[in-house]
Structure 1
Amino acid sequence: MSQVEKATFAGGCFWCMIKPFDQYSGVIRVTSGYTGGHVINPTYQQVCAGDTGHAEAVEISFNPDIISYNELLDIFWQQIDPTDSQGQFVDRGDSYRPAIFYHSETQKKQAIESKLKLEKSGRFTQPIAVSIEPAKTFYPAEDYHQNFYQKQPEHYEKYRKASGRDNFISTYWQNKK
């Protein structure tokens, strides 16, 4: 097996960002957590209060021989509203901002290229507002947040639907291939 690489994406509520990546071959682990802020070992309550600078995010460990970083970027874009920098769906505020946190110059270049490709596609009339930032320390979230879609499937599905995420994805991604 080749070396394991990491990808880190913020796309609003981290509960909704695990399952889309978890189902692909080559994805070894998807961890919910916090990154991009200035507080060491933040808690969920601190991050939600908005004082830490962190975003809820997922850290993906993957085998690049099986799934590429560009493929992960494509999956990421199709889980979010890339025009909303103020949060995602019903989750508002800086802790729910969408962002790509790159781990290398190659990832930075690929992230910028994928963002430009999306901007040029004409899929959205508003500007693409997702930030591309260097990866900072990633702090895994509390255990009850990990793999929430498996631990609480009914709650997870109700939340996704009520948040507006599923409707947005259906409207902007699944119906406009």
Structure 2
Amino acid sequence: MIARRTLKTMSLALMIGLGFFAQAKTSHAQQLETLTVAGGCFWCVEADFEKVKGVKEAVSGFAGGTTANPTYKQVTGGNTGHYEAVQITFDPAQVQVETLLSMFFRSVDPTDAGGQFCDRGASYRTAIFATPSQVNAAEAAKAQAQADLGKTVVTPVLQANTFFPADSYHQDYYKQSSVVFTRFGPKSKAKAYKAYRNACGRDATVRALWGSAAPFAGS
């Protein structure tokens, strides 16, 4: 009888422990937040922010337009109103949204209203798609960027709306080994990404604009 009671007590303790563990995991998952930004080529923005401690995932996609489930060709064609955007999922216990916004401004040219670097057109413009709780932080980060540069920052703070992930071809482009044919010849996606980023002048421009404050230049 004692042995049976002890076994029952141990089983109950185990169930309680597993319940607390599951609750803790759920609680942690519920604490994750998202920030959606547009900074020109979404391959580059995704690659930059996935290096940040506390960022759990960065997904390339489209935001800001009116076309549902747009294709890459439609967006770059300029008829959807969408920007190339990246949705960043992060743990606010590890990195605050204010830090991510500051890093974002210093990873782009927020004075350029016509696109970013070698990529021109509406879909390559910069923007922040802020949730209601992020608007004040986004506006403050924009004001600080403008004060630091001494130039007009044209990056708008827009209301967050539906984010449409791009197809799998564009996800994690910067670290894929599959071979694609480029103007540089056949290369793995990872090497093609590096060649594109260098040829587009992204890091050189950001470094010239922000100096040592640029968090990702050269990455």
Whether contact under 8 Å (1:100, 1:133) holds in the other structure is yes
Q: CA deviation at 1:169?
A: 1.8
Whether contact under 8 Å (2:62, 2:166) holds in the other structure is yes
Secondary structure of 1:81's match? coil
Give runs of aligned pairs for residues 131-170 of structure 1, distance below 5 A. Answer: 131-151=156-176, 152-170=189-207
Q: CA deviation at 1:175?
A: 3.8
The question of 1:113 aligning with 2:140 is answered yes
Structure 2 equivalent of residue 130 of structure 1: 155
Give runs of aligned pairs for residues 1-177 of structure 1, distance below 5 A. Answer: 1=28, 3-104=31-132, 106-121=133-148, 123-124=149-150, 126-151=151-176, 152-175=189-212
Higher helix share: 2
Measured in 2, the distance between the counterparts of 1:114 and 1:24 equals 18
Bigger shift: residues 72-81 or 43-52: 72-81
Q: How many equivalent residue pairs? A: 174
Q: Deviations over 1:52-101 (max 9, x none)?
A: 00000000011101010011111111211010011001111111110000
TM-score normalised according to structure 1 size: 0.94
Measured in 2, the distance between the counterparts of 1:5 and 1:176 equals 25
Q: Which runs of 5+ in 1 are unaligned?
A: none
Q: Which runs of 5+ in 2 are unaligned?
A: 1-27, 177-188, 215-219
Measured in 2, the distance between the counterparts of 1:137 and 1:175 equals 35
Q: Which structure exhibits the higher relative contact order, with contacts defined as CA atoms closer than 8 Å and separated by 6 or more residues? A: 1
Q: Deviations over 1:8-64 (max 9, x none)?
A: 000001011011110122111100000000001000000010000000000001110
Secondary structure of 1:169's match? helix
Secondary structure of 1:71's match? helix
Bigger shift: residues 30-39 or 106-115: 106-115
Give the aligned CA root-mean-square deviation in angstroms. 1.3
Whether contact under 8 Å (1:15, 1:148) holds in the other structure is yes
Note closer, same or farther for the CA distance 1:24–1:176 as it changes in structure 2 (3 Å cut).
closer
* Larger CA Rg, structure 1 vs 2: 2
Q: CA deviation at 1:176?
A: 5.7
Secondary structure of 2:31's match? coil
Secondary structure of 1:82's match? coil
Identity of paired residues, percent?
Answer: 41
TM-score normalised according to structure 2 size: 0.76
Measured in 1, the distance between the counterparts of 2:60 and 2:48 equals 13
